[in-house]
């Protein structure tokens, strides 16, 4: 069994981006600039955004963190996003999800300019992804998975891929990307979800199993084929009074049981999570470069 080390690959990706940024500055250009909008005080969201801002600093990007009150209205948030759209010094915009219940997430995503949608959630970028348009901003987590597969040179052509979870952020996009005619695609993909019958029977056929359901430890030893590649996207805080923080981070996969049966597996934390941020940084650099080619 070999670990798919997201920390290692993410750092290599960021080191390369740092070189690109330094070259831009030496050429007299400004660095890429990412704006992050954080609504409320959700603990997990605070951590995610802090990691994104930290990564911007590591690669030499500028970053702006906009903190807004939990009680903000939808109209007020839309006004903030529109102002960022109009700022020519901002290349990428992300609005950290989830948002408070009084705000329609889809409306906010639609408000972000597709040219600055570095999360890859806007319907325009979703359509471009579906059509395999290279100008699309791919959703960061699926993109990060592809980068991980590429680094470890894992063959996907003709393989049986099973994706558990059908969210717009991970499950559905990674199922599309893995089925497309691309170097790390060309797979036969089955998409499973909460209404799938005989789930174990299906996951046991997977050469590559991608779980993105957010249910700690759901994927056990009896759900994995011998020699399978297992990619665990799940990341949930589970209360644990024995730790300093009062919680542990758990994935969908029961790592201790499943690892011995795999050829490759991602740890949680340290697998897909760091790759999501690396992919976001790549998208921000892409948005920056595309802004000069309009």
Strand partners, 239: 247
Does 249 sit behind a cis peptide bond, omega within 30 degrees of 0 on the bond before it?
no
Q: Is 57 a catalytic residue?
A: no
Q: Is 96 a catalytic residue?
A: yes
The catalytically annotated residue of 5, 14, 52, 286 is 52
Query: CB 73: neighbour CB atoms within 10 A?
Result: 11
Q: Is 12 a catalytic residue?
A: no
Q: Report d(CA 217, CA 205) in Å as an integer.
A: 19
Pick from 264, 274, 278, 162: which is nearest to 213 by CA?
162
Which residue matches tokens 């209404």?
Answer: 195
The catalytically annotated residue of 119, 207, 232, 252 is 119
What's the distance, CA 92 to chain centroid?
A: 15
Pick from 243, 120, 255: which is nearest to 176 by CA?
120
User: What's the N-to-C CA distance of the chain in angstroms?
Assistant: 47
The catalytically annotated residue of 5, 96, 207, 252 is 96
Enzyme catalytic residues: 52, 96, 119
């Amino acid at each position: 069994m070999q670990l798919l080390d997201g920390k290692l690959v993410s750092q290599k990706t960021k080191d390369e981006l740092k070189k690109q940024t330094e070259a831009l500055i030496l050429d007299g250009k400004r660095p890429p600039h990412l704006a992050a909008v954080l609504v409320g005080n959700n603990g997990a969201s605070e951590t995610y955004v802090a990691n994104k801002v930290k990564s911007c600093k590591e690669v030499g990007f500028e970053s702006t963190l906009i903190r807004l009150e939990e009680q903000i209205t939808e109209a007020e948030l839309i006004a903030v996003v529109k102002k960022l759209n109009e700022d020519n010094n901002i290349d990428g915009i992300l609005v950290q999800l989830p948002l408070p219940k009084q705000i329609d997430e889809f409306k906010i995503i639609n408000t972000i300019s597709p040219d600055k949608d570095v999360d890859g959630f806007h319907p325009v970028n979703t359509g471009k992804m579906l059509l395999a348009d290279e100008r699309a901003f791919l959703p960061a987590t699926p993109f990060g998975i592809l980068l991980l597969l590429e680094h470890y040179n894992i063959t996907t052509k003709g393989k049986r891929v099973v994706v558990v979870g059908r969210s717009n952020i991970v499950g559905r996009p990674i199922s599309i990307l893995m089925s497309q005619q691309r170097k790390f695609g060309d797979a036969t993909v089955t998409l499973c979800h909460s209404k799938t019958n005989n789930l174990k029977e299906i996951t046991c056929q997977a050469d590559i199993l991608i779980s993105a359901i957010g249910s700690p430890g759901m994927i056990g030893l009896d759900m994995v084929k011998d020699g399978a590649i297992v990619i665990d996207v799940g990341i949930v805080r589970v209360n644990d009074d024995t730790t300093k923080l009062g919680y542990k981070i758990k994935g969908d996969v029961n790592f201790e049981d499943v690892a011995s049966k795999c050829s490759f597996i991602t740890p949680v934390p340290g697998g897909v999570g760091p790759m999501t941020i690396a992919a976001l940084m790549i998208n921000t650099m892409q948005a920056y470069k595309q802004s000069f080619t309009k």
